[in-house]
Every structure is written in C-alpha cells, then in structure tokens.
Structure 1
Amino acid sequence: MASCSNSNELLSELVCSVCLELFQDAATLECGHSFCKSCLDRKWDSEKNSICPKCRALISERKYMRNNVLSNMADRAREMQIKGETNEKTQIKPSDLSQRAEVGNTDHFCKEHSEKLKLFCKEDETPICYTCVDSLKHCGHNFIPLHDAVSIYKEKLTEAKFPLETHLNEIEELQEKQMQRISEVNDQTKAMELHIKSEFATLHAFLQNKEQQLIQKLREEKERTLKEMEENLRCIKEFSDTIQTQMHDIQSWLEQNDALHILQNITAIENLLTRSQKNFIKSSPKLVKHGITLGVYKGPLQYGIWKEMLSVINPGLTSITFDPNTAHPNLELCEDFTRVKNSGIYQRPLTDSPEQFSLCACVLGLEAFTTGRHYWEVEVGQNNSVWDVGVTQASSNRRGNIQISPKNGYWTVSLRQGILYTASDSACEALSAKPQKMGVYLDYEGGQVSFYDAGDMVHLYTFTCEFNEKLHPYFYPGLKGSAPLKLFHLCL
C-alpha cells in the first residue's frame, strides 16, 4: 500500500494542473510552478495579465524556462502507461488526479491549488492552503492555524455538553416524578372507589344504578388523567432521548482526532450547537400534577342522592348558628343566630378580644370541628355580588386587615364581580350562573374542604391540607345592604 501511495504521489507531480494531463514540453515559471508550454500560451493569450495559473503570481514579460527533466519524466511515465508496465493499483488516469479523494487521503489537500491545507479562514469557516491566502476569494479575510481552529470548536462543543448534562439530569428527575405521580393516581383511584362503595352501602339496593354511573365517571376521569400523564411522560422521554442523542453527537465530535474532518464539517457542528441551544429556548416538559377530582367522588354523596330521591331518605337538616363573640360590630344577627347581614353601622361594641373581627365584616360559626366529616349549606342569594364562605382555624388572625389564604389558616371560596375565586385568588371553574346556595364539606381526618353549588351538587373546588387544630365555619356576608346569609348543617 505504501508503494502504491508513493507511485501515485510521484505521478501527481508530473501532471499539468491546467489540462490535468502528463506534461507535454514542460515549462517552469519564476514562482516555481510548472505547466505544459502550450497550456501557458493559451491561458496567457486569453488573459490581460500574465499570471501563474496556480498561485496567481504576476509573471513579467511572460518569462518561463523549459524544464527538460520534467518533460523527460513525463514522457517516461507516458511510455510506461502505454506498455502496460504499471498495474491498476499504481496507475492513475490524469483526469482522476482532479479527484484527490481516490488517491490516498486527499481531504488534506486544497482542491483548487493541490497544496496541503494548513490554515483556517475565519470568515468562510473552512480550511485553506497558503496559496488561498492571496486569492481574491479570501481577500481581506482573517486566518489562523488549523490546530487553533480545532481547539476553538472543541471548546465550544465542551461548553455545549455541560449544560446538556445538567438539563438531562433535570429531565430524568422530572420523568421519575411523573412516573411516581402516575402510580399515585392509580392508588388514589383505588382509594376513591372504596370510598364510593362505602358511601353507597346503606343505599345500595335502591341506588346500585347510580353507584355504577358514578364509578364509570371516575374511571373515565382516571383514563383521561392517565392519558394526559402518559402522553406527558412520552414527551418527557422523547425530550430526554433528543438530549441524549445530541450529547452522543457532541461526544463523537469531541472524540474525533481528524482535525480537518471536524473543520470541514463546521456546518454540521454549528447546526448541532444550534439544536442543543434550542433545548433551552423552547419550553421544557412540565410535570402533570393533578389527580382525580377529589370533591366529585369523595364528598356528601348520600346528601347529593337525597336531593334526587326525597321519597327514599330524610337526612334531617339541622341549623348551625353564628358565634356573636366573633362577629364584626357592623354585622346584624337574627335572634336564633342563623342569619347575618352587613348593616353598615355598629350593632355591638368593638372589643379588644382577639376572637372578634375588628376591621373585616366577618363572622365564624359557633361550632368547632376537630374530627369527623361535616357538611353545611349557605344561602348566599342570587342578587348578592360579594360574599365569602369556607372554614378557618381557631387561631387565625381576626384583627385588622386579614389576609384570606390557606397559609394564614383560611380555606374559602369568594364571589367577586360575578366570578368565583379560591382563597389563593385563582379562578374556579366557570359556572353558567351564580350559585344561590353554597355547600361546604369538611373531612377533618381526610384533610379535605370541598365546595359545591348546592342547587345541583356540582363540585366547584377542593382544598387538601393536614389539619391540626379546631376549625370553624367562616362567613363574609358582603357589603352594606346585601341580602342576609342563612346557614344549615348536616352530619353525615
């Protein structure tokens, strides 16, 4: 193989770079490059100035020197080809010399000047030879040694790899969390099925059809929820695969020892770098957290069925009362403490008691819950534009301008400008009409507070929290002149 390569290199030195044939009457110019005399004459006749066809150097007075040595060697090579003294492995067709890829590793040579590539053009981002430096194509460009260019791009690849590794770790962690949430939804679904069956135990004979309908709804919600989560998991995996593929491609370039191969594929490397950067521009996958809608399946189910089947059950609603010691002075309570409204004027003195609301016109229920499941309804009226209902901790602040939020011990739903809001100010699901009666369900051990449109038991919102102190019903009857609130309580 070495002999073949040496023969090819020798023959390449005997070829005119103009006609790509073995020299005929070789002539050497002042710059040292050689051509066929006839090729020089034709080229100079067609040009205004006499220049070297290879290095573009200006030749004064068309001077050249006959090169008998090259002519004789070319004639000898031509005779050897004619006599068949060269075999197929060492014989080169002159036209093939223009395609250096078939003669050794010709990627290292300039295709235009047949010189070794030793520089890198920063503007064109391509390897060049020394002759290219003086060509019009690279006029005014900047050049650096090849090994410096390789170092620059390997440094860029290394810089691109590190954030990808970090991003991949985050995606893998997100993938693990999503898989965990899928498992939790499956477990949650099983628990909800058991709860539903338990709630229907006393009515099973009469309500079997209703039970199966509700279970089917739960399973459909499970399928929708899991479908969304599994689709998100697929996107996460695809995102992870994309990053791993890009990291593999980057690593392949980093392990590439052929500097010229790297620099001759700058476009591919730049595209790879652009794709890796896009991973940070476009939004990454997010964790789908939501599970089964707790309040739809774990709530006052029997009471909801009672609404549909009054002839079968009689739940025996019992009224609960407001606690006058907590009421703001402007609140007017009826004699049995079952109705309240904002009168706009003092109905009682403002005390220093921490139990009384001092600035906000609110009131608590007298009942305090530390265990069990409880459900009550609040008539809020159709014309009232502002009100709050919910629960609060016994120790929650009631003095001054209170902040209604779960972190401050308030779990409420509020009506403002015709829209229902949770205590965190995020809008509840849209309703076709404002509810005239609100239902509140508290499962103390279960850590659940759910809200319903008590007219048709449509679930509105559910809070989940671990309770560790007394909870009271909480109410804000609205502005001065609003219709009074009326409360009911039903033990399940």
Structure 2
Amino acid sequence: MAQQVIQLDQEKLSCSICLDLLKDPVTIPCGHSYCMDCIKNYWDENETHSCPQCREAFIPRPALVKNTMFAELVEDLKIAGLPAASSDYAYAGPGDVACDFCSGKKLKASKSCLVCMASYCEHHLQPHYNVAPLKKHKLIEATSKLQDNICPHHDEVMKIFCHTDQQCICYRCLMDEHKDHVTLLVSAERAEKQKNLAGNRHGIQYRIQNRESDVNVLKQELEAISLSADKALMESEELFKDLICLIKKKSSEVKQKIRSKQKTEQTRVKELQEKLEQEISELRRKDTELEQLSLTEDHIHFLNNFSSLSHLDKYTDLPSTYDHTLQYFQGVTTAVLQARNKIKDLLSDEWTKIIVAVNKADVLLPQEEPTTRGEFLKYSCAITVGPKTETKPFSLYGQASYGDYSENSHVQSNEVLNGPCYWEVKLTGIATVGVAKKYDSYSGSSNKCGLGSNYESWALKYSHGSYQFRHGNILTSLSGPQSSTVGVYLDRRAGILSFYSITETMNLLHRVQTSFTQPLYAGFWIYWNQGNSLELCELKETSDTKS
C-alpha cells in the first residue's frame, strides 16, 4: 500500500516540461509546478509569460521561489530508489518531429496545431483536449512543415487563397497588395482541388491500363516477328535447294538480310517496350504521391504540391499492328517461290523483288499524333450523310423533321473511316458525335442502339457546355475548356480515337486506345428538342496531305 502512494506522488512530482522528477521545484501563481530551470528557459524563449499547461498569462513575469516541501518529497522518492520518470513516451529521433515544449531531450511530437503553429508530444498535448478554448484548435498529424503556413511578409498564418495570383496569403496580404483580387478560404480551395485530384488519379490509372495493354501488344509483336521470320527462313531454304548451284550466294544474302531486318525490328520494339514500362513505373509513383497528397490534412502543403503532382506529361501513342502481325516476312517466301520457277536469265530481276519484300517487313510502331490544329487539318476528311450525291456539310436541328431521319435517330457517314481522319462538328444544346460499325437501322431505344450504348461504338455527348464519354453504355464525365466545337481524330489501323475541345488550342477531352476490329463510320445524334443542333464544319484540307 505504501509503495502505491509513493508511485502516485512520483507522477504528481514530475515536471510537465522535461517529464522528469522536479529539480529545484517552483510553483507559479496558477498553482502548477515546474523545475526552476525548465520554466525559466520556457519563459526566456517566449514573448509572453504563461503557464505551459493552462496557458494563463502573468504580467509582470513572476519571481520564482523554490518550493521546499516539493523538494523534500522529491528527495524521499529518490531515497526510495524508484525510477526517475514514469513516462513511456518516445524521444524524437532523426526524421521525427520534436515537441516544441519539451526542454532538454525532446519527445516525439504526435500532433501539430495549425492555430498555435507548434507541435506537441502526448503529454504537452493534453491542454488541447482539456482546456475549452484550445479544443477548437485544428490538430493534424505532426509535421515539420508548419513554417510553410506562415506568411513570409507578415509572419502570420496564411488562411486565404488568392485565385488571381494562385497563392496562399494572410489577412494582412488581403488588405494590401491582394486587396481587389478574387479570394476564398484555403479550406474551400482545398475542397475544390480535392475534386480535381480524383479526376487526375483516374486519368493516371486509365493511362496505366493503356500502357500495360501497349506492352502486351509489343510482347506479341516480338513473338510474331520471330515466328514469321523463322517460317520465312525455313520455307525459303527449301525452295532454294532446287536452285542451290545457281543461287547459293543469293540464298546466303537473303538469310543475312532477313536476320538483319529481324534484329532491327526487334530492337525497335524492345526499346519502345522499355520506354513504356518505365512510363508505367513513373505513373504508379505519381499515383502513389497523389494518393498521399489527397490524405494530408495540411491545406497549404496540399496546395503547394498540387500543381506539380497533378501535371501529366505527354506520352507517345502506340498504333495497332494487328492487321500485319503474320505478314512481316511472308512476301519473302512468295518472292523466292517465284524466283525458283523463273529461268536463269531472269534471276537478276527476281532478286530485286526478293530484296523489296524483305524491306517491306516493317513493324508499325507509333507515329506521333498531331498536336496543333494545323497538323490535324492535314488529315481532314470529307464526310457525307444521306444521298451520296450530296457533298455539302450537313446539319441537324432538333426542331425540324428530316425525312428518313426519324425522331431521336442516329445518322452515319457514307464513308468508311480508316484514317488518319479528322473532322469537326459544332454542337448546340444536347448532341452526340462519335464512331461506330455500320448499322442497318438506328431506330429504337437509344439505350440499345445509340452511339456508345454498346461495345461497337464510341461517343462524346455534349450537353450545354459539359462533356461525357460513352462506350458500352457506360458514361464517364470529362473535364476541359468549354467549346461548342468538337474535333474528332481517328486512326483505325493505329487503334486511336481522340476527342478535342477546340478553343484557341486543341484541348484533349478523351483518348481511346484499342483494337478496332470492324470498319468504322462517323456517327451523329441530336435530341429531338427545340434548340438542339449539330453542324458538320467545312474544313480546308492542306495541299500536301489528304485523308
């Protein structure tokens, strides 16, 4: 029983600053006791003379007198041979945030206060849980970046975000150089940016999926190149046996050229594969950083890092090569077979054909997608709808009747689009533009046959300035500069379909990277209501390139 009493006294006789038994104990006017050196150092380091526990301020600075009774009790505890401290708190190590109120060896801070602009260990944090005014303070996980929340000009906490200058400011800045600017609370700006962050993560994850798909395509390309090259070698050597005496030298040259071409193509594909795998790794790292940023409770840290982390670098698009997978070296076999059946005096002519066939065994690696409107216009294509004699750009209006076009029906182009192809449409109200396979009829429920309602069509829906992408009857909201003019870029063989909002620049709204297995046609749809319209723009093709 006596030992329990001593243990209780030990806890009461510990200094709340150093968390050790009191040394030269003194009691300040509010009734709390500290080591004389601890409270002196605390007051020396602060402008106000207040109690570290209850925050009561004293003017003037109190004189400190040793508490004799507490000093005797501390000596009794030392004689009893009990541990010098009863705290289980961990001391701050390298990389840890130290408590701002511990003297001597500092404990590890568990929370930082965005009002006090200080970090606290569990012991010194207790007033924030017990004292009514302190309970209203904003506590976050301990951070060493509290100084980033302080205005460098006025030494005050920055609680305002200036939209005009895109920076955090304090209230004094608001009354001075930012007086007439558009401002709001940092918490409100954080909430808005948080919404965008989710969209950025979605974009990164979507790009990761595309890049992983591209890597798989390249792996298949490597295997197909090897199989096709090996098959060509085997068949060519069999055919050359009949002409071995005449074309032994030529056979060796063909073999060397095939192997050389195979090595060249495989090297190109491997380099692109490594680049894409590196891009995937970078995207995963960036996604992790964005996830960590989304979880931080420090608004300033969030805003200071949002722009750099949310920026997505441009990546190289990968066109599809499925139509050519098994044909890389097939022409070699054909050419050799023809050469075998030719007479000796025609051998030189047939040899030329063989070399041409080897050189045509190209892998269709990515070509850069256009970036400027001028570059896109090089691929502008003429699209007609309805009677094939009609060549002028067409228009659809929701308030009118169009003969063969029934209510809420879809319209398709007469032309098959392989690409690269580019066209623009001007949209008003609610309208949809996209591509799809050829349908005999578009009549019926839009949920069954509408653009984007199945897996054989892809569509962009425009609704009074907002955009949605639709495929497989799944709608995905898109963000981007508002424009009633939308550009569509299709390269079927490369497997690329892109939608752009056209302002002064080309603004990518959505890109599809897939394998288009069927012929595609341009598709259009407007909702049959007053004020909705869709007009195909007349584009001027460049003189050197036509779709």
TM-score by length of 1: 0.40
Flag the structure with larger Rg: 1
Structure with more contact order per residue of length (Cα contacts < 8 Å, sep ≥ 6): 1
TM-score by length of 2: 0.37
